[in-house]
Structure 1
Amino acid sequence: MCETGDAADNTNQAPVDSTDRAPVDEEARFSELLEDSAEDLYEHAPCGYLSTLLDGRIAKANATLLDWLGYERDDLVGRMAFSDLLTVGGRLYHETHFAPLLRMQGEISGVALELKTADGSRLPVMVTSSVKTGSDGQPLLIRTTLFDARDRRAYETELLRARQEADRERDRLKLLNTTLQKTLLPPALVNVPGLDVAAHYHIASADEVGGDFYDLFPLAAGSWGLFLGDVCGKGAAAAAVTSLARYTLRAAAVYNPDPAAVLSNLNTVLNHEYNGTDPRFCTVVFGLLTPDPERGGFRITLAGGGHPPALLMRADGTADYLPTPGGQLIGALPDAHISTTTVRLAPGDTLLLYTDGLTEAHTTAAGGDDRYGDNALLDLGRALAPTTASDTIGAVRDLLHTFGTGVDDDTALLSIHVPRPISEEQQ
């Protein structure tokens, strides 16, 4: 019984001793853990720590930085300066920018530098430094934190490579668009006896193919056909319609040069080809030029399909539009109404055909409702008259350049001028 009692007493006593010692052991372990954690946090932090004297000599470096660089602690501490770890370019930047700013500001952060490792390779880092001062306010040392920027550098390199590839792709696309745009315009306008001709195509954006087009070509019996138009939309789809419209107009004019018949044929073709879920249409003006041997100059019959009116600048200094009212978009309806007008171009007269990229251009780059408009163009025509085809195109081209990015749509220009006889020009 006594042995059992002793055993019981011993059993009861053990937990008491354990409970009494537990708070002491936990406190000791917690204190030890704090001390170990502080030291470990410095030595094995996910970033490099460096302390340097004011003259740049390394006074302390953590294990993380030593591992990155491949140096032993004794190789750096007291033996090397921070600038000795930098590449040639980094050392120059440190001496001319980093160190002077640090002295003036007391802190500098987020500076990209490259360190030289023990094996000669380069380590990109992001550096933050601050000056530690004493109780008297005098600087004691410099503390520097370094972040491994290899992943960031790799990301930036990949980003740069992707951007360069995108730039090359964009250049290829621009070249393709430019080449395609050239195929949609005549390489050179034909020479019409007794007539001066000039044209210009203003590209609003090199990234997209526009839908504007023009041409001037000979027909039978000493007559000539001309047209200028604007397909809705941009890009490859618009280019396909532009090509179809241009060659259809030429072929239809050879078959029947009557301007209304030419546009009617084009309307039939477009309405037939694009009558599904993606309708395509355009505005067009077609003209038939014939010489006027009795009075000199030319007679021109214009047929308009929803296109802005031509601007006629007379030899007497007046100017006005030649409207073709009621003309409807070509390709939008099965039987589009086509309006015609006939006028004589006397010696000294100049006719300008244009697309709405001109009149709808913004007069300021900011955009808004500041459209150039029909009235402004008419005022320009009256200021130019009497003029020539080349002078007219030159004036409008310069005008478009003044708008800058305010021109958000391509603009095609075609101008014809009947020169005065040489005897009249001399007078």
Structure 2
Amino acid sequence: MALEGNEQILGENLALQKEIEQLKYQILIQNVLLDDFFNNSPTGYVNLDEKGHILKANVTFLDWLGFTRKELLQFSEFQNLLLKSQTAQFEKDFSWIKAGGQTNNQEFTLHKKDGNSLDVYLSGKIVSPPGEAILIRLTIVDVTEKKRTEKDLAKKSKEILQQNLLMKKDLTLAAGIQNALLPPGRAKKYISTLYLPLEKVGGDFFDFLSFTNPNKIGIFISDVAGHGVASAFITAIIKSTIHQMPEEVMDNPSELLSLLNDVILTYSDGRFVTALYAVIDFETGDMVCSHAGHPYPYVFNMDTVKELKLKHKRKPLGILSSEVLSSKQAHYINEEISLRGASRILFFTDGLLEACSEKRGLKFYEELLHDFLMKHRTEDSESLIAGIFSDLMEFLQDSDLNDDVCLVSVDLTVNR
């Protein structure tokens, strides 16, 4: 009976011992897995004691710095791996961690074995159970590539900023040059103008051509497709070209446009130009003009304001050569208009007509222009231009212009 009892106890002991061995094996496997995770994680891990001494580091961290475990331990305290300028911040963070706090993604730079540096985000906390010796785990993320990218972006941003400053300087200079190309304000006391470039420089242009006959004046207005520096460059070419024309050409609008067309075609790089050139004889009250795809002017009488619809509508400049236009019977033609009885003629570019107000339901100023001109038809040119500008700004409200705007108003009845 006693023998049977001993055998039972022995069997239970063997079963218990087997169970203990299985638990030991499972614990061993868990430790191996944890150790494998610790060493081969994409994140660096370093264990420190309460004095900041390095106790253990994973393989990832060692590989980053290029040290063996033995070489790393020779640094003793972790802060010896840091830049000297950062040790004070680390000591402050370390004290906070020892007091039970936690740090997250603090920026530090570590020394590598080859003399280079490693930019990292460092987080730290206590991982030991309460009552046991303090064990602090530092979690380290390599951000060297991120920092390099940030530096490259900062460098590029600085270069772009410098380029923008130079461009603004150049644009300011270009704007000054373009303003010098335009007739000075009130160059003629019977002419008033308004010039609103969409950018610092624009593609709209106007000029006045003088004749030996003091009763004559040439009014030239044009609009280069697009706006900005490239368009402004074309306006400079236009200015230079028309002022080199002999008087007999200036007195012949169609011939002037034909010659100008071929010049623009050479330099415009696909940018066409709408234009209208008119020679007004104040003594006879006649006007000879030629049209190149430009908006028609308005003629003012005492009781009416009418759009001057020309008979010979032609293509803008810079599309086809004058020779080709002639072969297609599409060459520029002079048209004689009597302005006798008229008080004013208003020339403008299409930026005025195409000004659009979002708050007014995408309404265009073209729909309001004639009514405004009728209402203010008896005012002098200067007051009319100022009124159009004020009314246009009120119409736009918070909307922006979408093109350059240019106006030229010629009083036909004032003493010149």
Q: Which residue of 2 aligns with 1:305?
A: 292
Shift of 1:157: 1.3
> In structure 2, how many angstroms separate the alpha carbons of the residues matched to 1:116 and 1:363?
56
TM-score by length of 1: 0.61
Q: Structure 1 unaligned runs (5+)?
A: 1-27, 78-83, 135-139, 422-427
Q: 1:286 aligns with which of 262, 277, 300?
A: 277
Paired with 1:289 and 1:240, the residues of 2 have a C-alpha distance of: 28
SS at match of 2:241: helix
Aligned counterpart, 1:407? 401
1:195 aligns with 2:160: no
Give 1:146's aligned residue. Answer: 140
Q: Does 2:252 match 1:266?
A: no
- Check 1:266–1:36 CA distance in 2 against 1; reply closer, same or farther (3 A cut): same
- Alpha-carbon distance between aligned partners in 2 of 1:44 and 1:371, rounded to the nearest angstrom: 67
2:330 corresponds to 1:343: no
Distance 2:91 2:176 in 1: 54
Secondary structure of the residue aligned to 1:284 is strand
| CA deviation vs aligned residue, 1:180-219 (integer Å, no higher than 9, x gap) | 4554552543755651423313224x5xx64321112432
The amino acid that maps onto 1:198 is T
Within 5 Å, which residues of 2 pair with 1:236-385?
238-239=231-232, 241-252=234-245, 254-258=247-251, 261-271=252-262, 274=265, 281-292=272-283, 301-312=288-299, 319-331=305-317, 332=320, 333-334=325-326, 335-344=331-340, 349=343, 351-364=345-358, 370=362, 372=364, 374-385=366-377
Cα distance change, pair 314–245 in 1 and its aligned pair in 2 (3 A): same
**Could you tell me whether the CA contact under 8 Å between 1:330 and 1:336 is conserved in 2?**
no
* Residue 306 (structure 1) shift: 1.8
2:141 counterpart SS class:
strand
The alpha-carbon distance between structure 1 residues 269 and 76, as it changes in their structure 2 partners (threshold 3 A), is closer
Structure 2 CA distance for aligned equivalents of residues 71 and 342 of structure 1: 102
SS of corresponding position for 1:358: helix
SS in 2 for 1:220: coil
Give the count of matched residue pairs. Answer: 360
CA deviations over 1:243-296 (Å, ceiling 9, x no partner): 3333333344722443xx223332244247638996664211223344459xxx
Moved more, 321-330 or 391-400: 391-400
Q: CA deviation at 1:228?
A: 0.8
Q: State the Cα deviation string for residues 41-92 of structure 1 (Å, max 9, x = none).
A: 4256443347899xxx999874566986989786359xxxxxx96886x999
Once residues 245 and 192 of structure 1 are traced to their aligned partners in structure 2, the CA distance between those partners, rounded to angstroms, is 19
Q: CA deviation at 1:406?
A: 4.7
> In the aligned structure 2, how far is the partner of 1:31 from the partner of 1:45?
20
Instruction: Indicate yes or no: 2:206 matched with 1:214.
Output: yes
TM normalised by structure 2 equals 0.62
| CA shift in 2, pair 1:309/1:141, >3 Å | farther
Per the alignment, do residues 303 and 383 of structure 1 end up closer, same or farther by CA in structure 2, a change over 3 Å counting? same
CA distance in 1, matches of 2:119, 2:88: 10
1:319-342 deviation line (CA, Å, top 9, x unaligned) = 332332432124342323454534
Please name the residue that 1:3 is paired with.
none
Q: Distance in 2 between matches of 1:383 and 1:60?
A: 91
- Letter aligned with residue 266 of structure 1: L
In the alignment, what sits opposite 1:7? none
Task: Give me the whole-angstrom Cα distance separating, in 2, the residues matched to 1:107 and 1:146.
Answer: 11
Asked if the contact 2:110/2:120 (under 8 Å) is kept, the reply is: no
Shift of 1:158: 1.0
C-alpha distance 107-420 of structure 1, shift in aligned 2 (>3 A): farther
Q: 1:104-155: per-residue Cα shift (whole Å, max 9, x none)? A: xx998xx6x4226589x996444678999x9xxxxx9997743222221111
Give, in whole Å, the separation in 2 of the partners of 1:214 and 1:44. Answer: 75
CA distance in structure 1 between the aligned counterparts of 2:211 and 2:148, rounded to whole angstroms = 65
In the alignment, which of 149, 153, 164 is matched to residue 158 of structure 2? Answer: 164
Distance change in 2, residues 1:404/1:179 (3 Å) = farther
The residue identity in structure 2 corresponding to 1:48 is: G
Distance 1:358 1:187, change over 3 A: closer
Q: Give the Cα separation in 2 of the matches to 1:418 and 1:58.
A: 96
Which amino acid is the alignment partner of residue 381 of structure 1? L
1:300–1:345 CA contact under 8 A, matched in 2? no
Check the 8 A contact 1:190/1:216 in 2, yes or no: no
Match of 1:12 in 2: none
SS at match of 2:350: coil
**Preserved contact between residue 115 and residue 122 of structure 1 (Cα < 8 Å):** no
> Structure 2 vs 1, CA of residues 354 and 253 (structure 1 numbering), >3 Å: closer, same or farther?
farther
**Aligned residue number for residue 75 of structure 1:** 77
Q: Separation in 2 of the partners of 1:125 and 1:275?
A: 59
CA change 1:141–1:383 in 2 (3 A) is: farther
Q: Larger deviation: 270-279 or 216-225? A: 270-279
RMSD, aligned CA: 5.5
| Aligned: 1:38 with 2:25 | no
Q: Which amino acid counterpart does residue 75 of structure 1 have in structure 2?
A: E
- CA distance in 1 between counterparts of 2:413 and 2:54 reads 90
Identity %: 19
